[in-house]
Structure 1
């Protein structure tokens, strides 16, 4: 069913959520044969919601959007919206070229999503005029509010902000570049009501730096498998408990990033493996990703023990 909130109401719900918890990017559950397992996905989403995130972002990068068929995507977004029941905003991923993104947007709207995270266009290097037109065409296809994700080949120029701001349902930016000088310029040029959040890989690593320019909200892949650790870090950061933040970074997050950098695609497959180690029935990753090696799984298991001890 379509969302029942206005763009302004959804923006305000997201703003409140970003003040109270990390942004959850749930995993897409597959069975042993690689088929979507909706029951397992629902259980995972319920566990994520119970941990108190600021919002739920299904079928994005961590949710393997890039490997989903449109019918699978529609069923997953509908399941997430049904499980959320309005308790937290549901922001669905959508991407590829604008025509494909518009189809996914329509499916998300029918399924009850509250908003969209517009992922970078597939493959293409985009001049600014083309990027703005891409966003405009997707936005024209849906009533859902849109957060534009800049990462990889997509970089928003400050000069493009006024054109993006003219698109009524664009409500903010997720940043994956960690170029804080550029992001600060974008933020200052943007409408004051726009939402901004840190979407860097393992965002906790840069969370203090983003906060220093007025962007304290962030996505957390760790929340997908250890909300206890993610929540402990979030509370310590908000309380300016630098000693605890430093300890978590040194003993858990930095070693996790070093492990993540050991394999292509580990930003997703390590997260899914960690969730399985915690007992979540989320299954394997889909090709072209592969699961971590046994050696890396052992290291991951040790890291989880350390992180959970620190969070206790």
Structure 2
């Protein structure tokens, strides 16, 4: 009998992949990033995923990031690893992650190919069956399951505990949430998820991946609590004063969904340089200055309370 599994809920932490000057994974900086997220109250750590430049990591780097995440969290919160791309690599990543002690995994889209629903069903099923660990499916780009395919997977595989949406098709999301209900956790995985969370929250999405939490997590928490408490005034205030200005910068260049996080972390004093691997580009000077101004004004309006934050700012 397989025991009941649950997905992480609340604000989900997605650390970046910090690099040393020689271009290697900076393990100390990664540890600092993870500790910061946990101390700021994030519910879980998703390592080597989109924000962690999954697309740009080799096998050794991937293993290093997972090892650091498992070691640093030390059971304080669940650790989920990103797996996906080439199906053979995805299976290897699942096995490696399980051996290293993760609590579950997030399945990213297959590499390049846009498959039929049957192909996507087989992609997910093949990966999930290689482990008994909880699995979260990521609806994004070339991997978007329709209701019949998702229902079939969920009925057959009790390991599936969550569905993360990164495509923004609200008609489909309503169809899925109203039909499947709370059998799985629904996670908002849109770029800068806080921007769309008011709409997602209203249809049953209670969790989201927060890029902003890598540098101003207390604001993300304030916003999340306001949503849950129905404090529309505070939701609107943070939305207009913080979220929209940052999102305008994020949309200025392709790849800023990753690099803007690192820029924000560098601004608040976390040891992560404004460096990313191609095809992403670092945040340009003009946008970096704009982000710095927004963060400074945000901290004046919503000062961080926790001691760790004060040390870093």
1:8 Cα offset (Å): 2.2
- Whether 1:252 aligns to 2:248 is no
Q: Which residue does 1:220 correspond to in 2?
A: 210
- Whether 1:164 aligns to 2:153 is yes
Paired with 1:225 and 1:99, the residues of 2 have a C-alpha distance of: 35
Paired with 1:279 and 1:192, the residues of 2 have a C-alpha distance of: 40
TM-score, normalization by structure 2: 0.92
CA distances 1:176-221 after superposition (whole Å, capped 9, x unpaired): 1222221121123337431111111111111111111111211110
Range moving further from structure 2, 61-70 or 177-186? 177-186
Q: Which residue does 2:46 correspond to in 1?
A: 57
CA distances 1:72-92 after superposition (whole Å, capped 9, x unpaired): 111211211111121111111
CA distances 1:135-176 after superposition (whole Å, capped 9, x unpaired): 111112222221000011221111112321112322221001
1:100 Cα offset (Å): 1.0
Question: 1:75 touches 1:111 (CA, 8 Å); kept in 2?
Answer: no
Which of 170, 174, 188 is residue 180 of structure 1 equivalent to? 170
Listed as ranges, the gaps of 5+ residues in structure 1 are 1-5
SS at match of 1:119: strand
CA distances 1:91-139 after superposition (whole Å, capped 9, x unpaired): 1111102111111111111111100000011111121000000011111
- Whether 1:101 aligns to 2:90 is yes
Q: Which residue does 1:76 correspond to in 2?
A: 65
SS at match of 2:282: coil
Paired with 2:279 and 2:300, the residues of 1 have a C-alpha distance of: 34
Q: Which residue does 2:75 correspond to in 1?
A: 86
CA distances 1:221-266 after superposition (whole Å, capped 9, x unpaired): 0001111221111122122111111111111111111111111100
- Whether 1:128 aligns to 2:124 is no
Paired with 2:250 and 2:80, the residues of 1 have a C-alpha distance of: 26
CA distances 1:50-72 after superposition (whole Å, capped 9, x unpaired): 00112111111001111111121
SS at match of 1:57: strand
Paired with 2:151 and 2:237, the residues of 1 have a C-alpha distance of: 41
Q: Which residue does 2:298 correspond to in 1?
A: 307
1:48 Cα offset (Å): 0.9
- Whether 1:285 aligns to 2:276 is yes
Q: Which residue does 1:142 correspond to in 2?
A: 131
Which of 14, 22, 26 is residue 33 of structure 1 equivalent to? 22
Range moving further from structure 2, 243-252 or 186-195? 186-195
Paired with 2:175 and 2:43, the residues of 1 have a C-alpha distance of: 26
Q: Which residue does 1:8 correspond to in 2?
A: 4
Paired with 2:229 and 2:157, the residues of 1 have a C-alpha distance of: 36
Q: Which residue does 1:232 correspond to in 2?
A: 222
Cα root mean square deviation, aligned: 1.5
